[in-house]
Amino acid sequence: MIQEANRIIGHNIQSRRELLSLTQEDLAKELNIPCQEVKAFEDCIQPASPDILMRIARLFHCSLDALCGFTPSTYTYQPLSPDDILAHEIPPVFSHISDMDLRKFLYRTFIATMMLDCQKRTRLH
C-alpha cells in the first residue's frame, strides 16, 4: 500500500513538473535539494519527506491532496497525467477554453507568475 502511494505521488510530481516545463534540475533548484533526490522520488526509489511534499505543493500552488492525486468524486488516489490536471484543476477563469495547448500555456503562465510572486515576497522578508 505504501509503495503504491509513493508511486502515485512520484508520478503526480513528475506530471505537474512536466506540465510547467520544469526539468528535474529546475525543481531541485527551487526546492534547494540535490537533483538526485527529485529523481529518486519521481522514480519511487525514495519517498519524498512530508516537508518536501509541502514545499512542492506550495511551489505548484496545489493542495497535498491534489499532489497525491486525490479524486473527490470517487474518494480515491490515482496517478494524474498533465491533461488530467488541466481538465480538473485549471483555475475557473480558464475552464471555458477548449484548446488544450492554450490551456497548458495559460496554466504554465499562471503558475510561473505565482512562483515569481512568492520568490519576491520571500526576498522582502
Query: Residue 47 belongs to a domain with what CATH number?
Result: 1.10.260.40
Q: Judge contact between 37 and 28, C-beta under 8 A.
A: yes
Cα(110)–Cα(102) distance, integer angstroms: 12
Domain count of the chain? Answer: 1
- Over residues 4-32, the mean pLDDT reads 90
Residue 86 has pLDDT above 80, yes or no: no
Q: Judge contact between 12 and 69, C-beta under 8 A.
A: yes
pLDDT tens readout for residues 40-77: 999 989 989 989 999 998 888 888 888 888 776 666 67
pLDDT tens readout for residues 108-125: 777 777 666 666 665 555
Residue 50's domain spans which residues? Answer: 2-124
Note the residue count of the chain: 125
